[in-house]
Amino acid sequence: MKKLTERKVVLAGAGPGDPELISVKALKAIQRADVILYDALVSKELLLHCSKGCKLVYVGKLKGRKEFSQEEINDLIVFYASRYSYVLRLKGGDPYVFGRGHEELEYAIRRGIHVEVIPGISSAIAAPSAAGIPVTKRGVTESFWVITGMLASGEFSSDLELASKSSATVVILMGMTHIKEIMKFFSENRSPLEPAAVVHYASTDQQSSVKGNVSNIASLAAKEGISSPAVIVVGKVVNESLMEEILVREEIKMKVAV
Ligand code: SAH
């Protein structure tokens, strides 16, 4: 392996939101970078670890507000890589999970830039976990699927139909805008009582979640004011969440301590 100092553009995952859920390797990259291009879902606390002269460039694309197009981001990466020796492209979760990270690297590689990837903890796994939901459990589910609510074309993915016909845990990213329509697939192909949960801003101070079934989860989420960014989880594992028990025990512990 080549030394870190020889690399040009590093594409790294910052994890789901909790600044402690980043890898040691990605944290070292933050400390070492000359320029950091970061997304909206990257914890601002992580950026405090950058070096004194480091240039911080926000290139976020929050839902409903497209401040930077993908083409502009690609060009910015190449622009900075040609001027600085260590450019870090920091993305929420894992850079390859619905993150367009591969497109950014392809663009940079075609322009002769040396690249490296550091994976991150994806919200696809961290969000269910933060709500106490195991994505797999022996005897309950045999696999889990991670799918997107909507394709770039504005259509539902054909995988959504397949996933809803399987018995797998299904984790849906970017699905809040069309949660009602998405849940209909599961209601029809599984059962209207199939368990479902929504986890909003998982692993951050703003985390909130609701649990129900595929027939009522959209209205439960709306009632709680839960929208994007959130992960929808469908499957029997939702009923395996130990969160309430953990919270009750914490409460008992606190009472005992007081
Ligand atoms: N690469 C990211 C996903 C980018 S797509 C990852 O691996 O996590 C953006 C979507 O991810 C959001 O619309 C939402 O569905 C999900 N997401 C990202 N961070 C989240 C968080 N902290 N809590 C809940 N959902 C999150």
pLDDT band at 255 (very low <50, low <70, confident <90, very high): low
Q: In this predicted model, what pLDDT tens digit does every residue of 157-198 receive, in sequence order? A: 899 999 999 999 999 999 999 999 999 999 999 999 999 999
Whole-angstrom distance, CA of residue 90 vs CA of residue 14: 6
Could you count the other beta carbons within 10 Å of the beta carbon of residue 164?
A: 23
Active site residue 39: yes
Q: Say how many Å lie between the CA of residue 73 and the centre of ligand 1.
A: 19
The verdict on the CB of residue 14 being under 6 Å from ligand 1 is no
Nearest 5°: phi and psi at 200?
Answer: -105, 140
**Position 177, amino acid:** T
- The active-site residue out of 28, 61, 137, 184 is 61
Cβ–ligand 1 contact at 123 (below 6 Å): yes
Report helix, strand or coil for 173.
strand
> Is residue 213 within 8 Å of 149, Cβ to Cβ?
no
Please determine, for residue 61, whether its predicted confidence score (pLDDT) is greater than 80.
no
CB of 173 closer than 6 A to ligand 1? yes
Q: Is the CB of 233 under 6 A from ligand 1?
A: no
Task: Name the region of 236 (left: φ>0; alpha: ψ -120 to 50; beta: rest).
Answer: alpha
Average pLDDT over residues 201-226: 97
In angstroms, rounded to a whole number, what is the distance separating the alpha carbons of residues 2 and 34?
A: 19
Which two three-digit tokens encode residue 51? 């070096």
pLDDT in tens, 161-171: 999 999 999 99
- C-alpha to C-alpha distance for 109 and 9, rounded to whole angstroms: 9
